[in-house]
Structure 1
Amino acid sequence: MIIDTHLHLIDRSALRYPWLAGVPSLNRDFSYEDYAVEAQRVGVERVLHMEVDVDPADIEAETARVEGLSRQPGSMLAGVIASCRPEEADFPAYLERQRANPFVKGFRRVLHVVPDELSEGALFRDNIKRLGGTGLTFDLVVLPHQIPKAIALADLAPDVQFVLDHCGVPDIKGNGEHPWREHMSEIARRPNVVAKISGVVAYADAGSWTTETLRPYVEHTIGAFGWDRVVWGSDWPVCTLGGGLSTWAAATHALLVGCSIAERDKLLSVNARKLWRLD
């Protein structure tokens, strides 16, 4: 069984995505139906939707739309990681509304496209601390040089469960292992951080990467965090920039050759089921 912890759906007729104008290769609709066909072929059985940085006015509409899709017969959708704005004063009220909805499993605020100072603000940090004890996770998506910012958040809110997306977004195309490697080892020392092995094909050279290209980054991440603190995600449709869901799934299985069945199962499903309480 595979639980995909990182699916993006794009429906431009229903929601607004300001950032898509700058990414022509993704500036179209990506439907659940298209994803599900390929996902089921590679063994995905459950999936979490990851917020797609919609227009702030559409944040709650995005969650409602995905929840509606989850009610369709045979849907694999098991929950959402919702967008949020911890830097705003109305976050506490928003948090309480989402806590009342069991379909919401956690939150993410995209940090690599905003000034570094945003996550250092007192209001942002106080609001992140509000997640402690709620059972709701907070996904961190940062570039390698920003991982110390993620470390600071993890240290300030030790009762909050953080999830570091995409192996810390290494520059695989540029063979960039430093300071990414050192930063990953450091953040892995925080027991309240889990790493997501997701979508790294998008950061490699689409025309020339091989499994061995990805291996140093995936293996270092798993080695630093250990098998009990890693989960798997597709990052569809962003992964289409590096070959697609089926290609990434195949590369994952190739990278896991030599692992035990228990280790493989922890990465692909067991840890995600525990972390987000998925039945």
Structure 2
Amino acid sequence: MIVDAHHHLWDLSVRDQDWITGPQLAPLRRDFTVDDLRAETTAAEVGRTVLVQTVTVPEETPELLALADGHDLIAGVVGWTDLTRPDVADELARLRALPGGRHLKGIRHQIQAEPDPEWLLRPDVRRGLAALAAAGLVHDLVVRPHQLPACVRAAAAHPDLTFVLDHLGKPPVAAGATEPWAGLVRALAALPNTVCKLSGLVTEADPASWAVDDLRPYADVVLDAFGPHRLMFGSDWPVCTLAATYGEVLTTATELTAALSEAERAEVFAGTATRVYGLRAAPARRVGGRNSRT
């Protein structure tokens, strides 16, 4: 059963998504609910998902955990908390004690928006990373290529913490360039405590004219560098809808991994995410009056 290791949900009546600005992002300025997600995942035969934060406010993570607590489809949450706060360890414990707190699997910060390319290396941030490791959580990295050198140094300095690179580190797909991105990604992948999400490529390409072959050089780099046992599929829904439907994203990922063996594809589309995030088993389905896991 497929695991979607990266998607978002939001309700604009609860909280504005202040990053949705300008005409290009206008299609995202509406609610995206669990019911909307379930319609997509059911059609795509996706059985479990990982819900990822979108805004850096403390109120969002408890809301995401509550959603996971109420919906079997959501098997894990990557939330946000201020990694620089002196009591970050206590805050992580507080989040885990909330309703749905057992679903907290990792923390993400919008590093891509930080003006300091070495934000990850600040002493207060490194203290927060150490707290994540002590809590058994992972750290999702949403960064741009120029921030990858700091990711390499941070991952080397915290070998007991798993770093998950979101969206391949946002390579310059639309420009058709691979360097220096490819070399930096390979340096990160050389560290055993790093993992990568095969996600977000369609929105880094030309949204109006992209083709699978435009994405293939970037997918090939991470497949070679990380291998299928450290690569996981993510839809990046609903952001992906700026360039492709949920089904098209999944089909594209399937095409990009077509050369893998069946066992290797099982890792990319379920095994890696299940292992890295410690996801619970898929819920049993009732067939013919008997419970079965299909």
TM-score, reference length from structure 2: 0.88
Residues 104-157 of structure 1: CA deviation (Å, up to 9, x unaligned): 111101101112243232111111112224221100011011110111211121
Give the partner amino acid of 1:5: A
Shift of residue 186, structure 1, vs aligned partner: 0.6
Secondary structure in 1 matching 2:132: coil
- With over 3 angstroms needed to count, the CA separation of the structure-2 counterparts of 1:68 and 1:232, relative to structure 1, is same
Match of 2:64 in 1: 66
Q: Is residue 28 of structure 1 aligned with residue 30 of structure 2?
A: yes
Match of 1:105 in 2: 105
Is the CA contact 2:172–2:204 (under 8 Å) kept in the aligned structure 1?
yes
For structure 2, list consecutive stretches of 5 or more residues without a partner in the other structure.
281-294
Could you tell me the percent identity over the aligned residues?
35
Residues 190-247 of structure 1: CA deviation (Å, up to 9, x unaligned): 1111011112111111121111111110111111011111111111111111112111
Is the CA contact 1:203–1:242 (under 8 Å) kept in the aligned structure 2?
no
Q: Match for 1:87 among 67, 84, 88? A: 84
2: CA distance, partners of 1:16 / 1:119: 27
2: CA distance, partners of 1:53 / 1:71: 20
Q: Is residue 17 of structure 1 aligned with residue 14 of structure 2?
A: no
1: CA distance, partners of 2:95 / 2:21: 29
Match of 2:2 in 1: 2
Secondary structure in 1 matching 2:6: strand
2: CA distance, partners of 1:233 / 1:179: 24
Which is worse superposed, 126-135 or 77-86? Answer: 126-135
Secondary structure in 1 matching 2:77: strand
Shift of residue 71, structure 1, vs aligned partner: 4.3
2: CA distance, partners of 1:246 / 1:71: 26
Q: Match for 2:39 among 37, 40, 64? A: 37
2: CA distance, partners of 1:19 / 1:72: 27
2: CA distance, partners of 1:71 / 1:98: 13
For structure 1, list consecutive stretches of 5 or more residues without a partner in the other structure.
none
Match of 1:164 in 2: 165
Match of 2:128 in 1: 127
Shift of residue 257, structure 1, vs aligned partner: 1.8
2: CA distance, partners of 1:21 / 1:209: 23
- With over 3 angstroms needed to count, the CA separation of the structure-2 counterparts of 1:152 and 1:249, relative to structure 1, is same
Match of 1:46 in 2: 48
Match of 2:288 in 1: none
RMSD: 1.6
1: CA distance, partners of 2:161 / 2:66: 28
Match of 1:143 in 2: 144
TM-score, reference length from structure 1: 0.93
Shift of residue 63, structure 1, vs aligned partner: 2.8
1: CA distance, partners of 2:266 / 2:217: 21
Secondary structure in 1 matching 2:20: helix
Secondary structure in 2 matching 1:187: helix
Shift of residue 273, structure 1, vs aligned partner: 1.1
